[in-house]
Amino acid sequence: MDNGLQLRSLGRFLYTQNPFYLISCFLIIYGLQIAAVANRDLVSRSIMLSGGTIAYALLMAITCVGVVRLCKVWDDARSIFLVVAITLVAFSIGLDELCVVDWNSAAAIMLAGALVTVAVTETLLKACRLSLPSSYRLSFYALMLVFFVSPLVLGKAVAERSATLTNWGAMLFSIAIAAALLVMVPAMRRGADLVRQNGSPWSWPLYPLSLFLILIVLAAIRTHAIWMSFGFIGAPVQFEPLLVLPIAFAVLMLMIEVDATKASPTCATLAMFLAPLMLLGSWSPGRTSHLPFLGDLRETFGSTSTFCMLAVGAFYAYAWLRSVPMANRAVVVSLMGLSVFGTVPAAAYQVGVRPWMFALSATLIVLVVCLRAWRSDQVWTAFIAIATVTIAMAFRSYGQRELGLVIAGGFALVAMMAIGALFATELAEVLRLFAGMGNVIAAGGVAVWHFSPDGASGRGWLAMAVLAAAIIATLVYSIVVRRTAWWYVAGIQALCLAGLVGVSTYRSGSLRGANLPIHSGLACFVIGVTITSMKTGVHHRFSRPIDGQVAPRLFLSGF
């Protein structure tokens, strides 16, 4: 019983989907290759293969017209349309060897095939009464032109020993395919409205994007076939994601155009999440990539990963230009990634370009966003983080790592204190807490530096001046924010300063004539009074009762 149900399900699937046209296409193409191999003459073999392919394409085109006009079976007609496109692409692929050995014969056959492609396409559309808008039609013909012209150009380059062109052939083919796909940008913006009355029961995006999906898959395969035919250098051929990077870039841009202007751009958002996959272009399945143009690519862009990161950043910049939500943040992340993981090429490095400049660009973008949304403490916090990293990277690139860390840390502390004073939010309170902890750590760092060789070599006064200025700033800040915890921070800073002064005085010999017991007793007296005042809570009572009610406290606890 179960076996009978499975057989009926399989039969129903084969009947409704009818995959036999596609199976027939692959079998015919494979059989033509086997038959052509038996012919020793290359020209005769090429003519036989191309002639058989064109004959099969004509057969399928006639079948498609009959299925549409007589039988009205549109589901099967869709498969036949795709088979015709696959067959025409297969025609352009089968002449690689002839393009190298006998370019004139290959050019004549390619020209005939191109004319047949145009004639079959236009006749098929007219006979089936299908409407294909101009943007889609131009993109289709541009794709077919790339398929037909690429073997001729690269075959000529191989014959003339043009190493640069042959090495870059596969990548240039992928770039040309991407450019041909981008011709559809106006059509993608209009979406379903452009093909609403197309003469068939098919709706957008099934019509006509299913055709271009097949062509994209064939183009991705063809990039590696071109590498094997024209750029092969004796190394093992393997799948290289870098070769399909331009095609992936174009596809993501088309996805952006689908609904970028809508309130909820689902397709554009999906493209935003898929864009980081382009970073896989720097990955190779084997231990080493054997692409022949990698040396030139690294010389131009610094590294393969930098090239991929630039592609991701360019895509997000385009998405930002198209007003896709969150695209500006993605641009900032891309620029920070370039500054941290990117490699500046030697030529750019010689003219002064440094990785930190990408981070500076990200900082400027965030600053513009901050000025537009100046009431958002979260945006200002992001600006602080990015600016701090940028400052540290800038000084490090010029050999001033320690100075950069000091200046970046100081900037971060001042900026966090400023946000904590200007905003009354939970994030502002957290930033005040971190700023207070940072001030304590900084005070300890200044004390440690004072006892270092630099501090002991005549510049110890600088540490004392910094601590004195920090104490004054902390006390003023405690008044601004009205928080008592900053008094403790100032107290710790004062202890560090007192310790530095005491040690410096002791080292200089100034205490030899002083009465140490009296001085120590006075210091203990001050400390005792301070502790007693803290126990009584007098520092919390700065207001007087008015009409039997206690006014709000002038200072609050915490940071």
What is the rounded distance in angstroms from the CA atom of residue 184 to the CA atom of residue 132? 12
Q: Is the separation of the CB atoms in 259 and 265 below 8 Å?
A: yes
Nearest to 363 by CA among 391, 384, 389, 387: 387
Residue appearing with tokens 């231990």? 287
**The pTM is what?**
0.81
Q: Are 162 and 172 in contact (CB under 8 A)?
A: no
- Tokens representing residue 461 in the block: 């006064």
Q: How many CB atoms neighbour CB 280 within 10 A?
A: 14
Amino acid letter, 441: I
Q: Please state the domain extents for the chain.
A: 440-533
The region that residue 286 occupies, defined by phi over 0 for left and psi between -120 and 50 for alpha, beta otherwise, is beta
pLDDT tens track, the chain, 559 positions: 455 655 555 555 544 556 777 788 888 888 887 877 777 788 888 888 888 899 999 998 998 888 888 877 777 788 888 889 999 999 988 888 889 889 999 999 999 999 999 999 999 999 888 888 999 999 999 999 999 999 999 999 888 888 888 888 889 999 999 999 999 999 998 888 888 888 888 888 888 898 999 999 999 999 988 888 887 655 566 778 899 999 999 999 999 998 877 777 889 899 999 999 999 988 877 667 778 888 888 888 888 999 999 999 999 999 999 888 888 889 999 999 999 898 888 888 888 888 888 989 999 988 888 888 778 888 888 888 899 899 888 888 888 888 888 888 888 888 888 888 888 888 888 888 888 888 888 887 777 777 666 554 556 667 778 878 888 888 888 888 788 787 888 888 777 777 777 666 666 555 555 555 665 665 666 666 666 665 665 555 544 444 444 445 566 777 7
End-to-end CA distance of the chain: 76
Report the C-alpha gap between 236 and 12 in whole angstroms: 44
Residue 550, helix vs strand vs coil = strand
Beta bridge partners of 546: 549
* Size of the chain, expressed as the number of residues it contains: 559
